[in-house]
Amino acid sequence: MAVPVAVLDCDLLLYGRGQRTLDRFRLEDVTDEYLVATYGFPRRFIRYLVELLGASLTRPTQRSRAISPETQVLAALGFYTSGSFQTRMGDAMGISQASMSRCVANVTEALVERASRFIRFPQDEAAVQGLKEDFYGLAGMPGVLGVVDCTHVAIKAPNAEDLAYVNRKGLHSLNCLMVCDARGALLSAETHWPGSLPDCAVLQQAALASQFENALHKDGWLLGDSSFFLRTWLMTPLHIPETPAEYRYNMAHSATHNVIERTFRTIRSRFRCLDGSKGTLQYSPEKSSHIILACCVLHNISLEHGLDVWSSPATGHVEQPEEEYEQMESMDSEACRIRQELLLTHFS
């Protein structure tokens, strides 16, 4: 005769139903390996975030037990790096999925508030010169202040009638304009543009374009691919290279511009909520934009802490590139002159 076996709920025995403590997960109780596997980052990085964001995450509450900043940071990192609100993760920290969702919202806003501190172009001359030298060391392209490109992040449909967020592949997305340096650190990130806008239209309307048009960044240029117009501050590849110098220019341009493509892949690999493997971001466009920007801030902070930008393994689910845009022919004669001078001076 079979003997029934009772499966005991250890949490129920320890805490009583509905009486779980909200702070029973402690960093000191687990290994770095566990933290990296579960939350994507080591202990020292998590502690830094708790200190950085603590003031924003400690708010007055009517509840007898508020969720600690440490638990909020862990919940948010768990979502950013896994792409889902996992029940087991919430159970490990002693909070519900609804509480995890609130934690993600709180940490996201705290990171967005600090975005300008961590994502910015260098201002002093020595740092700007170092930026150019780093890029020149990649493939011999002079004067580069950053490489620019757009990437789409899938979001849920805002509503059935709104086609502004439907991209060329028929999917709802945000088109995110970013610039990075030679290490992969982001210098600019505009994550709110509707997916229906082509890359050239995004740049035309972006704050980034205004900065360069107003000569806030002098004596250099960005590198962009053929989806952008050639400008005095934005060097693009030649559509049909003919001379050896033009081929050399295009090869150096491609090798240098590849840094941002690798950066996009790394960000998606580290922050799986962006790569689409667990579905689209289930938030409004505004909240989705903030989550993307929060991940960008974390990406730069991780670089500052010595976490190698290229160390994350590639994931199997990577965004397929958008269809090729028509070659953007520039009508800017001064931009054409600058590019031709660059060809003659450095690639002939």
207-216 pLDDT tens trace: 999 999 987 7
Question: Domain for residue 27, yes or no?
Answer: no
> What is the rounded CA–CA span in Å between residue 167 and residue 160?
14
- 75 and 201 belong to one structural domain: no
Question: Domain for residue 245, yes or no?
Answer: yes
189 alpha carbon, distance to own chain's centre: 8
pTM: 0.87
Q: Average pLDDT, stretch 74-102?
A: 81
pLDDT band at 60 (very low <50, low <70, confident <90, very high): low
Q: Average pLDDT, stretch 121-146?
A: 95
> What is the rounded CA–CA span in Å between residue 42 and residue 40?
7
- 259 and 336 belong to one structural domain: yes
Boundary residue ending a domain (117, 132, 151): 117
- Above 90 in pLDDT, residue 18? no
- 100 and 124 belong to one structural domain: no
Q: How is residue 309 annotated by DSSP?
A: T
pLDDT band at 2 (very low <50, low <70, confident <90, very high): very low
pLDDT of residue 153: 96
CA end-to-end distance (rounded Å), the chain? 90
- 52 and 71 belong to one structural domain: yes
pLDDT of residue 63: 52
- 173 and 232 belong to one structural domain: yes
- Above 50 in pLDDT, residue 121? yes
Q: What is the pLDDT of residues 276-294, one digit of tens each?
A: 777 789 999 999 999 999 9
Q: What is the pLDDT of residues 194-252, one digit of tens each?
A: 999 999 999 999 999 999 998 776 789 999 999 999 999 999 999 999 999 999 999 99
- 98 and 127 belong to one structural domain: no
**Residue 218: burial class (beta carbons within 10 Å; 0-12, 13-18, 19+):** exposed
Structural contact between residues 67 and 95, judged by C-beta atoms closer than 8 angstroms: yes
Question: Domain for residue 288, yes or no?
Answer: no
- 103 and 131 belong to one structural domain: no
Cα 254–256–262 angle (5° rounding)?
A: 95
Question: Domain for residue 85, yes or no?
Answer: yes
- Is the model more confident about 30 or about 15? 30
**Residue 27: burial class (beta carbons within 10 Å; 0-12, 13-18, 19+):** middle
Residue type for 238, please?
A: L
- 278 and 147 belong to one structural domain: yes
Question: Domain for residue 303, yes or no?
Answer: no
Q: To which H or E segment does residue 149 belong?
A: strand 144-154
- 104 and 180 belong to one structural domain: no
Question: Domain for residue 23, yes or no?
Answer: no
- 85 and 232 belong to one structural domain: no
- 220 and 333 belong to one structural domain: yes
Number of folded domains that form the chain:
2
The residue segments making up the domain with residue 236 are 119-283+329-347
Question: Domain for residue 13, yes or no?
Answer: no
- 78 and 160 belong to one structural domain: no
Question: Domain for residue 313, yes or no?
Answer: no
Phi-psi region of 231 (alpha: psi -120 to 50; beta: other; left: phi over 0): beta
- Above 50 in pLDDT, residue 4? no
